[in-house]
Amino acid sequence: MLTDFGRGFRDSAALAAALEAHIRAYPVSVARGRGGWVLRLPGRPPYPWRAPRLRLRLRRKQPSGNFGEAAETAALDFILDRWDPRVFYDIGASSGYFAHVAAMRARPRLAIHAFDLRPDLIARIRDTAGALGLQGIEAHLSGMGARDEGLRDVWISLTRLYDHEPAPAEWREIWPVRLKMALLGRPGRDIPRRHRIRLDSIDAFAARNPPPPGLIKMDIDGYEAVALSGGMETFRRHRPVIMLEIHRARFYRRFAVGRPEFLAPLFDLGYSALLLENRTRHRRVRVIPVGPGDPLLSREETDFLILA
């Protein structure tokens, strides 16, 4: 079943072919700008970009246009152009890249809510938006879960959230990763820090802040298994398009669930899914329709889905 997002296409295969062609042809480049590197994206002014320092030093050349988010950025533009959502939730916004590029591309009426757990990243979202003169972005120090729990003291590591102060064995990364991060100038990135944040849900936030989302992007390192369950009423009533990063099985063991299981309720609501394969090389990307029981949904990869 295709939602309004797929209107004008015969079926999911036709939609997948159109999206794949759009991503492969997407014009993007990385160049030197004032004060550092910038991304040049269609229909936007240059966007400041942090080049991977170690990789550049080893290769001794400037980065290519195949930066990690090219395929997802192209997919975002495809959705913005054809679906024209009024409200965008960027869940797991990090430094706000997708919130910013959506604000630069979309019409002024797009309202953007960016959510992250770390105060420093919320500050960066706001600072970059101010520097670029972007309107319509609200940044929330908040994590999405199964229900609204209000303000809570939590400990946040790189990809984990704890309701207690964890012992080192619970959070410490393996030594090769620690060495790599030290070389990249990010030692101690896995050390959990205490923060007071709001633990919310998609349904509760949407009820407090109408209108509901037309587009949701979610990249929260395994917690999507819980956050999706807190949005089922929103998905049932309003059918937003969902851009979703899903992870390897080890990310979901803490929730005793697998990828097919937490995605099944979305398929039950009538959602169709497109999987982006080879997404880190956007000119070679394949867009594949997938459904319940598809082996691709169970594989041990980090994958990106568009559900509509």
DSSP 168-233: HHHHPPPHHHHHHHHHTT-TTTT--EEEEEEEE-HHHHHHHSPSPPSEEEE--TTTHHHHGGGGHH
Of the listed ranges 25-34, 101-110, 156-165, the least confidently predicted one is: 156-165
- Structural domain containing residue 67: 4-307
- For residue 260, what pLDDT is reported? 96
- For residue 8, what pLDDT is reported? 56
CATH number at residue 187: 3.40.50.150
- For residue 159, what pLDDT is reported? 65
d(CA 303, CA 292): 16
Residues 211-230 have pLDDT tens digits of 999 999 999 999 999 999 99
Domain count, the chain: 1
Of the listed ranges 53-67, 155-169, 272-286, the least confidently predicted one is: 53-67
Calculate the CA 29 to chain-centre distance: 21
Residues 63-87 have pLDDT tens digits of 444 477 999 999 999 999 988 899 9
Percent of the chain past pLDDT 90, that is, above it, reads: 65
d(CA 77, CA 70): 11
d(CA 198, CA 134): 25
Contact of 80 with 207, CB cutoff 8 Å: no
pLDDT bracket for residue 126 (50, 70, 90): very high
The pTM (predicted TM-score) of the whole model is: 0.87
Of the listed ranges 1-15, 149-163, 169-183, the least confidently predicted one is: 1-15
Residues 182-194 have pLDDT tens digits of 887 778 777 888 8
